[in-house]
A = this chain, B = another copy of it.
Amino acid sequence: METDEKTSARTSYHHGDLRAQLLEATRQLVEEKGPDRFSVSEACRRAGVSTAAPYKHFKDKEEMLHHIALAGMERQRQQMLEELSLCSAGTLDRVVAMGRVYIRFARAEPGVFRLMFGLSEDHADHCDMVQLGDDTFTVVQSEVAKCHGRDTIIESDVNEAFLLWSFVHGLSFLLIDGKLKDAKVPFDLETTLREVAERVVGTEISGG
């Protein structure tokens, strides 16, 4: 007499798992249609509830998208940490791995990736996103420091990490925007990542 299958229509008045299912529908729609074309109504349709239901769980549309963006950042971070665990400590492999995962995530989930960054600039308002972003950036800095045989991060590590981040971030956007036709830039991603990492981490760039 409880709820039916999660996939089909429910039998009871209450849903049982609406919050999670709304978030999943939101994530899917952001991916399918892009963050700007997402609508709460359609997520409701997909979850099989009325259009007023979400507002028992979320303040507004923005909060729903915020959850998706934050979850995306956590997923990306987690994938980085997994990949890191496969590389031996203090090697450039680890820096390359983080870049590879960053770009892989952007290509695998361009909608969510765009949501994490490209959209409105009020991300800075949400301290949880800022915090998580900072944490991940700190990991990069730490890896850079370890490449230099240090355990504490100094300013040059921050600068190098930031150069790497900028590059990888920009490349991610150019790739998912389709600005880089394969014909136009016939590069090998892994090779490029490694060479950039070598140039940046291998050489001191004062930067201010």
Contact = CB atoms under 8 A, between A and B. Distances in A.
Contact of A196 (B155, B171, B180, B205): B205
Contacts of A162: 180, 185, 187
Interface stretch (A8-16, A40-48, A89-97, A112-120): A112-120
Contact of A178 (B121, B171, B192, B200): B121
Nearest to A169: B170
A21 B10 CA distance: 52
Given A36-B36, A195-B207, 8 more contacts: A37-B120, A121-B178, A123-B178, A159-B187, A170-B173, A191-B207, A192-B208, A199-B199
A158 interface: yes
Contacts of A191: 206-208
Q: Which of A35, A36, A177, A180 has the most chain B CB within a 10 Å cutoff?
A: A177
Contacts of A114: 118
Contact of A207 (B34, B166, B187): B187
A82 to B, nearest CB: 23
A50 interface: no
A30 to B, nearest CB: 12
A141 to B, nearest CB: 10
Contacts of A120: 34, 36-37
Interface in A143-168: 155, 158-159, 162-163, 165-168
8 contacts: A133-B179, A159-B185, A162-B185, A169-B170, A169-B174, A192-B207, A199-B200, A199-B205
A188 interface: yes
Contact of A170 (B167, B179, B186): B167
